[in-house]
Amino acid sequence: MDYRFVSLRRTGSVVYVTLNRPEVRNAFNGDVIAELTHWAAAARADPSIRVAVLGGAGKVFCAGADVDWLLGTLDYTREQYLDDARTLHAMLSAIDNLPCGVIARVQGAAIAGGVGLTAICDVGIAADDAIFAISETRIGIVPAVISPFVLAKIGRSAARNRFVTGMRFSADDARQMGLVHAVVPPQELDATVDRYVAEILNAGPEAVATAKALIRKVAGLTPEEALPITTEVIADRRMSAEGRVGMTAFLSRERPPWASGS
């Protein structure tokens, strides 16, 4: 696929995925959704990718849906709206389920679907002047497709507040509810991203993928309900080649081979 609205930059095992429509504050349309979906499928098939950094060109991370794109959907049939929603879900799910670590680099604003993009990342890093909003109810619709991804990140209480009011909230508020994990001055954004990239590169790539899958399996279960899953997972990892190499390096006070760089 030729990427027109998403730019890709690869540095070793790290890929930087940037929404590249700064003239419309990186709002997404059908083309952006298709490009992100295609990229996620390619990334899933490439085990050499260990970290993906999702960002936005210019002053804003992502302003949600493109107004002109929304105007073009006003005469859609119900079936077209259903297809539209399924397509958006497929894109969010594809990124959410990537085996590599995924970092959101948020500057300026993350609005509506931009919050959804933030929520599907493992780590969220925001500039301290960034603004967030789950604002769909302000225009008479709801954040339906992004809701399961956002709920998994911020919980029911914060979701009820933000979904119902649609009000804007600060980067500090986003951190308190778990949507992002670090809030820094804008000039420190890239350095902070780099630190988190380095931390993920210190982890075993197979272990990262397994840990992400484990969260999905045990979320909502009691410890007793999760026991058959967790015991199988840890036994498999301790017997795996990566697990054995990592444990041996740890016990020998050496660095494992995957931590040698990007």
* Contact indicator for 104, 117 with CB cutoff of 8 Å: yes
Q: Report pLDDT for 1.
A: 85
- Biggest distance spanned by C-alpha atoms of the chain: 66
| Alpha-carbon torsion (116, 119, 120, 123), positive or negative | positive
Q: Report pLDDT for 111.
A: 98
* Contact indicator for 87, 30 with CB cutoff of 8 Å: yes
Domain 205-260: give its CATH architecture: Orthogonal Bundle (1.10)
Q: Report pLDDT for 261.
A: 57
**Residue 261 — left, alpha, or beta (φ > 0 → left; ψ -120 to 50 → alpha)?**
left
Whats the size of the chain, residue-wise?
262
Q: Report pLDDT for 184.
A: 98
Amino acid in the structure at residue 73: T
Integer Cα distance of 229 and 122 in angstroms:
21
Q: Report pLDDT for 72.
A: 94
Domain 6-201: give its CATH architecture: Alpha-Beta Complex (3.90)
- Delimiting residues of CATH 3.90.226.10 domain(s) in the chain: 6-201
User: 51-95: per-residue pLDDT in tens?
Assistant: 999 999 999 999 999 999 999 999 999 999 999 999 999 999 999
Q: Report pLDDT for 122.
A: 98
Q: Report pLDDT for 260.
A: 63
Radius of gyration over every alpha carbon of the chain, rounded to an integer in angstroms? 19
Per-residue pLDDT of the chain (262 residues; tens, 9 = 90+): 899 999 999 999 999 999 999 999 999 999 999 999 999 999 999 999 999 999 999 999 999 999 999 999 999 999 999 999 999 999 999 999 999 999 999 999 999 999 999 999 999 999 999 999 999 999 999 999 999 999 999 999 999 999 999 999 999 999 999 999 999 999 999 999 999 999 999 999 999 999 999 999 999 999 999 999 999 999 999 999 999 999 999 999 999 999 965 5
- Delimiting residues of CATH 1.10.12.10 domain(s) in the chain: 205-260
Alpha carbon of residue 170 to chain centroid? 19
